[in-house]
């Protein structure tokens, strides 16, 4: 089984679940998960976690995201994008500067109401499933943040802007809300996610590129895939500690380790300090924390080679 994270460039027309399904076929393993839904009509960065790296999903989902969005002014739809049913139309008669002013007014923290056409659940049911049945329910607004907003291109009734946002923010809803403030309505016409946390679109590979790279590296007999980021690289800020060979079984059983289980040359960690723990031959075991004189397991990632 492969363990690590691949930066996928999702293409238009594919669901995030479809990306995971294709990745399962490419790698021949079931334990794969993505780090945040990207609408079928949207494209861009979608980090995908393989094997034990699926334990990173929740952490990676909390990171900020950067998008480039095309907004269509003068049209309001039920889905808040151009794929939906038109509810009303009114021409935008303002200037580029007026649009820029309204766009930038959304910078900062604010409350946003999630759209009905979303994967959020209410009482165990996805909002999108209710919406498709013509049912609208009350959604609780939640705090989101938009920053680094920049107008990239303007040619009324369309404009392209860049924005970085917090986890849980909807760019479709931002476009809708901009339209409401402009007084003419608006919806999202196109969306590209260019960054998720530290994953950027310049490093992302399409599914076809991933399949080709994997086949090529399989043929070369590579021990590790160059495009799969190893799990321990996400904890580079933590110090590395190796354990004695005699302590390996205790570590693999999830038992707390003693300070004497650490290799002699290792500096003893401070109380409550986190660390990356490795076997004596350099295989990553997991994240540990020193508590009350013991080294206690927090996240287990070990997989024998």
Give the C-alpha separation, 209 to 219, whole Å.
15
Which of these, 195, 294, 298, lies nearest to 238 by C-alpha position? Answer: 298
69 CB-near residues (< 8 Å, 6+ apart): 160, 161, 162, 163, 171, 174, 175, 188, 190, 191, 192
Of 269, 276, 267, 266, the closest CA to residue 301 belongs to 276
CB 4 within 8 A of CB 229: yes
Distance CA 24, CA 29 (A): 5
Task: Kindly provide the residue ranges of all beta strands, DSSP E only, lying in 176-227, ordered along the sequence.
Answer: 186-196, 199-200
Q: Phi and psi for 120 in degrees, rounded to 5?
A: -60, 150
Residue 175, C-beta contacts closer than 8 angstroms, at least 6 positions apart: 69, 71, 72, 80, 81, 186, 187, 188
List the structure tokens of 93: 């008669």
Active site residue 203: no
**Are the CB atoms for 169 and 112 separated by under 8 Å?**
yes
Angle in degrees, 0-180, between the axes of helices 207-220 and 16-27, rounded to the nearest 10: 10
d(CA 116, CA 134): 10
Contact 56, 234 (CB under 8 A): yes
Q: Which of 39, 177, 189, 261 is catalytic?
A: 39
Catalytically active residues are 39
């Amino acid at each position: 089984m492969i363990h690590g994270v691949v930066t996928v460039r999702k293409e238009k027309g594919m669901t995030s679940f479809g990306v995971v399904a294709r990745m399962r076929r490419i790698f021949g393993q079931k334990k794969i998960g993505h780090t945040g839904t990207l609408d079928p009509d949207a494209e861009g960065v979608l980090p995908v976690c393989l094997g034990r790296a699926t334990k990173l999903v929740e952490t990676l989902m909390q990171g900020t995201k950067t998008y480039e969005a095309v907004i269509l002014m003068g049209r309001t739809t039920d889905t808040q994008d151009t794929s939906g049913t038109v509810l009303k139309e009114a021409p935008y008669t303002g200037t580029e500067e007026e649009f820029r002013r309204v766009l930038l007014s959304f910078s900062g923290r604010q409350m946003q109401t999630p759209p009905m056409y979303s994967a959020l659940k209410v009482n165990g049911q996805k909002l999108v499933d209710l919406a498709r049945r013509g049912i609208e329910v009350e959604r609780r607004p939640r705090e989101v943040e938009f920053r680094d907003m920049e107008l990239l291109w303007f040619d009324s009734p369309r404009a392209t802007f860049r924005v970085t946002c917090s986890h849980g923010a909807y760019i479709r809803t931002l476009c809708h809300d901009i339209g409401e403030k402009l007084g003419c309505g608006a919806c999202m016409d196109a969306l590209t996610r260019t960054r998720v946390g530290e994953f950027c679109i310049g490093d992302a590979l399409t599914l076809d590129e991933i399949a080709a790279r994997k086949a090529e590296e399989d043929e070369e007999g590579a021990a590790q895939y160059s495009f799969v980021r190893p799990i321990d690289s996400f904890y580079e800020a933590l110090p590395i500690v190796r354990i004695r060979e005699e302590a390996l079984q205790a570590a693999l059983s999830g038992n707390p380790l003693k300070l004497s289980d650490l290799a002699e040359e290792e500096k003893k960690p401070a109380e409550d300090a986190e660390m990356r723990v490795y076997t004596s031959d350099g295989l990553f075991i997991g994240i540990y924390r020193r508590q009350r004189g013991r080294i206690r397991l927090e996240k287990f990632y070990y997989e024998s080679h």
